[in-house]
Amino acid sequence: MGLAKRIIPCLDVNAGRVVKGINFVGLRDAGDPVEIARRYDEQGADEVTFLDITASSDGRGLIIPIIEAVSAQVFIPLTVGGGVREVADVRRLLNAGADKVSMNTSAILNPNLIAEAAGRFGSQCIVVAIDAKRADTASGWGVFTHGGRNATGLDAVAWAEASARLGAGEILLTSMDRDGTKEGFDLDLTRAVADAVGVPVIASGGVGNLQHLCDGVIKGGADAVLAASIFHYGEYTVRQAKDFMAAQGIEVRL
């Protein structure tokens, strides 16, 4: 026995409200991040990730009071991503109660941001999120931004290695080919990155059923699996996912 594989529900937050249908029985307010995070905690989620998708600049700061409120009531690790542009943003989120902060486009534009943030706050709280898609690069996957529309020219595996070298403590790897398809993770991509880096890798993008979560760990070599819609729409609870994984011999926290 040893370290458990983690299941991480992801919540999209827009201007202070959780978006996407949250289908918990008896939920008073389907958009309330605190209540939703607490439900996930009760189900046995190992961490919760908040992704701030707020497009308008005036709504962006609203994630801060949310993280403050959640961290005062939910005692599992919280990761926050979206709109992190500079070290000051990382500091603000950590001070609000985030345990880890994830950066994506800003790290691509300025890789030194990873080193600077890790040097200041420690690698343990710096996650680099990579949106990858099949492309004509060395590994066969490129790094994309803007929801998979813009190619950066970077190779996904090489960028993951560089991120870890610069100080990222974890890689959140999303397949843009699979995201939203419910066809399962891109297992070859997951395996390529998990084998290439010495830091933990979170698989993301494409989960449609519980077998997909198992495949991400067993075939993809992921240390953690992230999913949104299968939990949000009440198809499965985190507890069901863990029971299913445990039955396949995957070590989980029950």
Partner 1 sequence: MTHIAVIDYGMGNLRSVAKALEHVAPEATVEVTGDPERVRAAERVVFPGQGAMPDCMRELDRRHLRQPILEAAQSKPFLGLCIGLQMLFESSEEGPTPGLGVFSGHVRRFPDDRMFSPAGQRLKVPHMGWNEVRQSGKHALWSGIPQDARFYFVHSYYVQEHDSGVGAASTHYAFDFTCAVARENVFAVQFHPEKSALPGLALLGNFVHWKP
The catalytic residues are 12, 131
- Separation of alpha carbons 244 and 97, rounded Å: 31
Q: Given the complex with partner 1, which of 142 and 167 has the nearer CB atom?
A: 167
Site string for partner 1, 204-243 (x = CB under 8 A): -----------------x-xx-------------------
Q: Does 253 bind partner 1 (CB under 8 A)?
A: yes
Question: What gap in Å lies between CA 161 and CA 66, rounded to an integer?
Answer: 32
**Bridge partner residues of 12 (DSSP):** 51
* 35 touches partner 1 by CB under 8 A: no
Query: Which residue bears the tokens 């870890």?
Result: 164
Q: Which is nearer to partner 1, 101 or 210 (CB)?
A: 101
Q: Which of 63, 177, 83, 163 is nearest to 123 (CA)?
A: 163
Residue 227 half-sphere exposure, CB side, CA atoms within 13 Å?
A: 33
Q: Does 98 bind partner 1 (CB under 8 A)?
A: yes
Of 47 and 179, which CB lies nearer to partner 1 in the complex structure? 47
Q: Please tell me whether residue 169 binds partner 1 under the rule CB under 8 A.
A: yes
Label residue 75 exposed, middle or buried (CB < 10 Å: 0-12, 13-18, 19+). exposed
Q: Which residues bind partner 1 (CB under 8 A)?
A: 1-6, 41, 46, 68, 71-73, 75-77, 94-99, 120-125, 169-170, 195, 198-201, 221, 223-224, 253
